[in-house]
Structure 1
Amino acid sequence: MTDSLGSTDAWAGALRAHGRRVTKQRLAVLAAVERHPHSPAEGILAAAREELPDLTAQSVYVVLGDLTELQMLRRFEPPHSPALYETRVGDNHHHAVCVSCGRVEDVECAVGHAPCLTPHWEAGSKPMTIQIADVLYQGVCEECQRNQKLPTRN
């Protein structure tokens, strides 16, 4: 079902640990997201249909929602883009998005420990314990810079 039996076994174990049945639909969606990180639901549907041609869009949306709620998948929403999904969860990494072509790259935690950023609380506010910082870098990738003959910046 997935590229390797090890991945299938790991996903099956994680599903069981969360009290979910191991179904071919769930495994197909997980495998599709793992093979195509940073994909929208439509892309995941197309990839999962390579394994399960009769898979419905509704099934994929239900599975994506459920697995995101279980934190087996991460959902993030770049500006001007549909929600994107990935299997990399629990490490508080960030994303860089090319504003020209839309390519998305993972960015490791920039500084220090998760959540990477320390908020400044204004006097009179009610501070909270921060668990996750979600940073989105926006720029132009090297390929788009070359194609558009834009100056590179660091």
Structure 2
Amino acid sequence: MARKDLKRMEGERIGVLIIVRYAGEKRWWVRCDCGNERAVDGADLRRRDYSMCRHPEGVELRFWSHVVKTESCWVWVAGLKEDGYGSFRANEKSVIAHRWYWERINGPVEDGMELDHLCRNPACVRPDHLEPVTHQENVLRGNMRSVVIARGFAV
């Protein structure tokens, strides 16, 4: 997005933000869908960085803006790590998308446990596709699925 375009964007929506007015010094007043309003750098708007909203409602709105619900999985379509897991910023730190949502719904994952994707889709954030298991169990399940697939059976 070119700089000149921002000057004409008052009232326009960018993701979960609405541009309210120019604040001067290359900064803009924006309002998040959660109602939070603050000044942000025009550069953040151009690169669509919405992390300035600190309200829990704003974080959840950003989360859902990156999810596409299919007939089976709820797929994270924003930032993905090299291993295929969704990643985003919540409360000024990087978090794994499926774990963040699981913990928002079910509370913290117990120590020594991790979330197994029953659907085998690391980008899926659907809570009923996740199950807390030990690391050993998660590895065994992954290996069993690989063997079954290699032998031509459906999982």
Fold similarity call, TM over 0.5: no
Shorter-chain TM band: under 0.3
Scaled by the length of structure 1, the TM-score of the pair is 0.26
Greater RCO structure (CA 8 Å; 6+ sep): 1
The structure that has the greater radius of gyration is: 2
**Between Structure 1 and Structure 2, which shows a larger proportion of strand residues?**
2
**Between Structure 1 and Structure 2, which shows a larger proportion of helix residues?**
1
